[in-house]
Structure 1
């Protein structure tokens, strides 16, 4: 495991394997991989296993607002690890971490902040 992934491990409390994410979303593992390629989800390899933060999936679907935020972060040049670190690091002005705001249906403000970082 790389150092970049190790610090993400401490930020993200709960992870899903590729297979668990596929079951939670009621799709095939290959479809989950496509979601990752399309910036609808993010995943990291840890000890040879692809894992997705459990916070990205709720009620059988990708959390509303997450794909748009991931696209903005990718367009800003964020790597997967940088995007995960940003999403799960607390921001007192939100309050909470950006992923918490997205889950609470406050994704517009999160995307606005992500876009501002690109300027």
Structure 2
């Protein structure tokens, strides 16, 4: 049996629970950001954050790495907007952000290290 290269699996079908090391429930995100759960819902709807169901029966969660020092990681909302403009849904956005494709490391690592401009350029080139 031949092993499947994870990069050959479409983004929407990737195992998010395997890609993302830690997940937060919306109430945990609200506590960390000092906002209400309703505000977290709004942030997800407006693409300031992304949420997905990491495994069957889990309910929607937000990757813990999307938050840093009590704030949304710098550059994440802009990146999510670019990816949504490329017709990605939240699940595909999360998969792309946590997959090591072309950057040295995963896009989320670059964002957390304040190297977001290269990540955004890569995302903008996806449509070409």
If the length of structure 1 is used for normalisation, what is the TM-score? 0.90
Contact kept? 1:76, 1:118, Cα under 8 Å: yes
Name structure 1 gaps, 5 residues minimum: none
CA RMSD between the two structures: 1.5
Match of 1:58 among 68, 79, 98: 68
List structure 1 segments (4+ residues) > 4 angstroms apart after TM superposition: none
Give me the whole-angstrom Cα distance separating, in 1, the residues matched to 2:39 and 2:14.
26
Matches within 5 A, 1:39-50: 39-45=47-53, 46=55, 47=57, 49-50=59-60
Give the stretch that moved more between structures: 43-52 or 102-111: 43-52
For 2:35, the equivalent position in structure 1 comes to: 27
After superposition, the C-alpha distances for 1:28-75 in whole angstroms (9 at most, x for unaligned) are 000001000000000013525220000001111100000000000000
- Greater share of residues in strand: 1
Q: How many residues align?
A: 115
Name structure 2 gaps, 5 residues minimum: 1-11
Give me the whole-angstrom Cα distance separating, in 2, the residues matched to 1:34 and 1:118.
27
State whether structure 2 residue 90 is matched by structure 1 residue 98. Answer: no
If the length of structure 2 is used for normalisation, what is the TM-score? 0.84
